[in-house]
Amino acid sequence: MAETGGLTSEEAARRLAQDGPNLLPRLARPSPLRELARQFTHLLALLLWAAAGLALLAGTPVLAVAIVVVIVFNAVFAFAQDYRADRSTERLRALLPSSTRVRRDGRMRTIDPVDLVRDDVVLLSSGDRIAADMELTEANELGVDESMVTGESEPVRHDRGELLSAGTFVVQGEAEARVTATGATTTLAAISALARSATRPPSPLTHALNRVVRTVAVFAVTTGVVLGIAGVVIGLRPVDAFLFAVGVAVALVPEGLLPTVTLSLARGAQTMAHEQALVRRLDAVETLGATTFICTDKTGTLTQNRMSVVEIWTPGGLVRVQGDGYEPTATITGPAEATTLLPGLAASAVLCVTGRAVSHAGTWQAEGNPLDAAIFALAMRCGWQDDPSRPVTRLPYTAKRMMSSAVLAGRASTIGAPERVFERCSRVPEEAHRALSRMTATGQRVLAVAGRPWSATPTEEAVETDLELLGLLGLEDPPRPDVHEALQACRDADIRVIMVTGDHPNTAEAVAREVGLLQPGGAVLGSGLPEDDAELGELLDHRAGAVVARVTPADKLRITRVLRERGHVVAMTGDGVNDAPALREADVGVAMGRSGSDVAREAADLVLLDDHFGTIVTAVRLGRATFANARRFLTYHLTDNVAELAPFAVWALTGGQFPLAIGVLQVLALDIGSDMLPALALGVEPPSKRVMLGPVRSRSLIDRPLVWRAFGVLGPVEAAASLGGFAAVLVLGGWSWGQQVAPGLLAAASGTAFATIVVAQMANAFACRSEAIPAWGLPFLGNRSLLAAVAAELLLLLAFLGIPAASGLLGGGWPPPAAWLFPLAGAVLVILADAAFKAVLRRRRRGRAA
């Protein structure tokens, strides 16, 4: 491929100062004002707006104002959390590594895309993001994914002289291009301007939560209407019956549910970011927790991705290399005939790769593919000198050929998978086959190097035939030190792991055996996978540690699809361009942040900044914890609703003979006053030690045990305790059935009922910390946020009852001294009832397991 020297550093700096940085516009999002307005117009908000309007018409402005306060509080809180989460994911996206290779001052340099300027000469290869508008000066089998710009899903072939748009991706081949526009003058900028009104579609988790809210809202309205009609039937004035119906509806609606969920997910995403796992979609936090199958690559995920050539077979014998990383110096030992052949072999190999080893602050590091850098380091150790001005013509690597070639000065060189290169060689000595078997058996990644004379126009069919085998390169990539621990955590969590790799089966088996992944059965070749999907699913589903080697991108996609069809929640790792379909198909696509391509990162839901398998396991643990927290605060919210509804139901069913224990404003004080902080604290409950023991018990946010626990056990206990306290205060104060109640006595009794619900909810907050362990079995200081929240709830209770203005507005007075026994009894009963329910649930689960 022809090469030019590119701009000088001085000229590039001048143009950067003149045109500004190459900051591509981000995908447009609705304005903050529009997002805030949306919080005032969803189903729950519309329900409350209607209630406020009707309350105003009914002549109860205090109730109308209270409902409006609920709407505003809920909307502002939800907006603040959505805005915070959105900006958090934007900050995470900004952390994703990105670079562009250019020619400046006559040599190749790697720069930040924001420093690109007009007329920069950019070097493109498979996996690169095109960071500015460009005109191709050279193109070699170039295919570009333009779906972001045109919507076309198939890659588009481009030749010399054609234009490339910023924001697209190279999926095949190599090219050089001249930058024609940067930043706000690119095609992507114009498209972004047209897309500013676009809205983000709701996530699957949002859909599930909306279904919960809709169900509760419909139930609340229906119950309110039915009991309102019942009030009219028993003799209430229509205005009073209406207010009663409004109170019932408000009592059943969990106003703080959505913001609590949003905060919990945002907190989970931020915690994952601290653990080197960047979440690109907020709902992926929850999906991670349900993962049952992890399909992982080998290089860089289970291994350290620090490739080095340690052994070389040549026709003259075996050579060993002892060096430090990518340093250009090393100790090379072997027969004289072999070491004589080594420089030519290394020079042929390095022509076929584009990655380099470069020195940064005295430390040699990989620039580009680590495997390429290892070959580059070997070439330098053999005395090879890099000369960017040489007219090298390359035939880039493709997954179909599994090799790449280069032509320079009348000589063609080829490097690739040994079995594919062997097929193209005119003769392969038996010693090469034996060396390949031995090297792969020790876990080395082996590449074959071949060559031939060539002076005509290069084509794959012609150049890559009748080759002369020059030798085999054995590369080592040490396993990560704590992979054993991460794999054991997966086994404990009943999460199955398979290695899906393009490497040789022997290499894959050796690494899998070393890290403790390989189970009886050995590796399966991608070409040997069953053609029938049912057979493939059966093969993989019953292997605790399978290895699938020499897979193609199509194999990865098929494996993902088959496992999902069998009911698994699949996390698929990938780093290459061709991994993008499988990453999109998976429930959770996991891309490599350091070594992965831009295409893979764009397709993924989770990006690993450290490319570490253990980080996936950490993210799954945090995902499980986030999902468990959502169930915790949902149980807490729904329990309160039963205690709030019971007084209205009893009042209606007795025809008004039994006074109303709490009013609508007291219900609102419970929902947005005393209950909100403990619910938020439950959303940040630290992961329990058992969160990764055994499979996920439930993938449903609301299931039968949760409903029974909230509506059948905890809620009725709270309701009985509060109504019992209310009735006891009335009776001890001289009230008889059907009589009118003196205002002072009614206020004291109502305050007792209110205090009983609040104190019982304090106990319920501790009970909801676990779905299996009684409250007394949990560490008291395990969630300090909950301790602070319950303390704040107690202060609010004292304020609501003890401050005359607040108690007068809400309608509940300070309980008599003896009446405080009922709140305490309510708390104790909630803890005991919860423990009994958990014991029954444990026995049933043990019975089913047996």
Residue 500: what residue type? V
- How far is residue 43 CA from its own chain's centroid? 28
Beta bridge partner(s), residue 607? 278, 591
Q: Tokens 């697209």 belong to which residue?
A: 168
Query: What are the contacts of 517-525 at 24+ separation with CB within 8 A?
Result: 517/302, 517/487, 517/545, 517/547, 518/545, 518/547, 519/543, 519/544, 519/545, 519/546, 521/546, 522/547, 523/547, 523/548, 523/549, 524/548, 524/549, 525/549, 525/550
Alpha helices per DSSP H over 96-165: 147-150
Q: Tokens 């601290």 belong to which residue?
A: 274
End-to-end CA distance of the chain: 68
φ, ψ (nearest 5 deg) of residue 178: -105, 130
Angle between helices 743-767 and 821-849 (to 10 degrees): 30
Q: 75 near 96, Cβ under 8 Å?
A: no
3-state secondary structure of 315: coil
Write the Ramachandran bin of 567: left for phi over 0, alpha for psi from -120 to 50, otherwise beta: left
123 secondary structure, DSSP code = E
- Show the tokens assigned to 497: 């792991």
3-state secondary structure of 499: strand
3-state secondary structure of 453: strand
Query: What are the contacts of 540-545 at 24+ separation with CB within 8 A?
Result: 540/498, 541/496, 541/566, 541/568, 543/496, 543/498, 543/519, 544/491, 544/496, 544/497, 544/519, 545/487, 545/496, 545/497, 545/498, 545/512, 545/516, 545/517, 545/518, 545/519
* Among 223, 64, 47, 240, CA closest to 660: 240
SS3 letters for 24-41?
Answer: CCCCCCCCHHHHHHHHCC
Q: Tokens 């001289």 belong to which residue?
A: 734
**Cα(602)–Cα(587) distance, rounded to whole angstroms?**
15
Q: 339 near 315, Cβ under 8 Å?
A: no
Q: Check 82, 297, 671, 675 and give the catalytic one.
A: 297
Catalytic residue check, 834: no
Q: How many CB atoms lie within 10 A of CB 340?
A: 12
**Cα(558)–Cα(726) distance, rounded to whole angstroms?**
64
Residue 432: what residue type? A
- Cβ contacts of 512 within 8 Å, gap of 6 or more: 298, 302, 499, 518, 523, 545, 547
Q: C-alpha angle 246/251/252, rounded to 5°?
A: 105
Q: Tokens 């209110």 belong to which residue?
A: 754
Active-site residues, by number, are 297
